[in-house]
C-alpha cells in the first residue's frame, strides 16, 4: 500500500522560542490535527522569520492558536507554511 502526503490544517499550541537542545535559537510548538493527534515542530531561522512576518505578531506567544498547513505522510506530521485565513 502506497501512502501519499496530504496537506491539512493544524493548530499551533505550546509556542516557545529558545535554544532547546539544538544550540541555536529556534521557534518550537506542537501542531494539533485533532485533540489527540499532535507533533512537535522545531523551526530554524529562515522558516521561523517567515512565520513571524506572515502572522505579524509582536511576540511569538501571539502565534498560540494560529492555524498552519502541515504535510501528513503516514504518522509523520511536518509543518509546511502559515495558514492565513
- The b/e string for 18-37 (b: 16+ C-beta within 10 A; e otherwise) is eeeeeeeebbbbebbeeeee
CB-based contact 83:68 (threshold 8 Å)? yes
- Tell me if the domain spanning 6-82 has CATH number 2.40.50: yes
Domain residue ranges of the chain, discontinuous segments joined by +: 6-82
Question: What Rg value do the Cα atoms of the chain yield, rounded?
Answer: 13
Phi, psi of 2 (to 5 degrees): -100, 125
Residue tagged 494539533 (cell numbers): 32
Note the pTM of the prediction, 2 decimals: 0.90
pLDDT tens track of the chain, all 85 residues? Answer: 566 899 999 999 999 999 989 899 999 999 999 888 899 999 999 999 999 999 999 999 999 999 999 999 988 999 999 999 8
Residue 78, SS3 per DSSP: strand
Q: Would you mind telling me the total number of residues written for the chain in this entry?
A: 85
Amino acid at each position: 500500500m502506497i501512502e501519499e502526503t496530504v496537506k491539512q490544517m493544524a493548530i499551533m499550541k505550546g509556542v516557545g522560542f529558545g535554544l532547546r537542545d539544538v544550540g541555536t535559537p529556534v521557534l518550537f510548538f506542537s501542531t494539533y490535527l485533532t485533540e489527540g493527534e499532535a507533533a512537535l515542530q522545531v523551526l530554524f531561522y529562515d522558516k521561523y522569520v517567515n512565520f513571524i512576518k506572515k502572522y505579524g505578531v509582536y511576540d511569538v506567544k501571539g502565534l498560540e492558536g494560529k492555524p498552519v498547513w502541515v504535510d501528513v505522510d503516514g504518522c509523520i506530521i511536518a509543518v509546511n507554511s502559515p495558514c492565513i485565513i
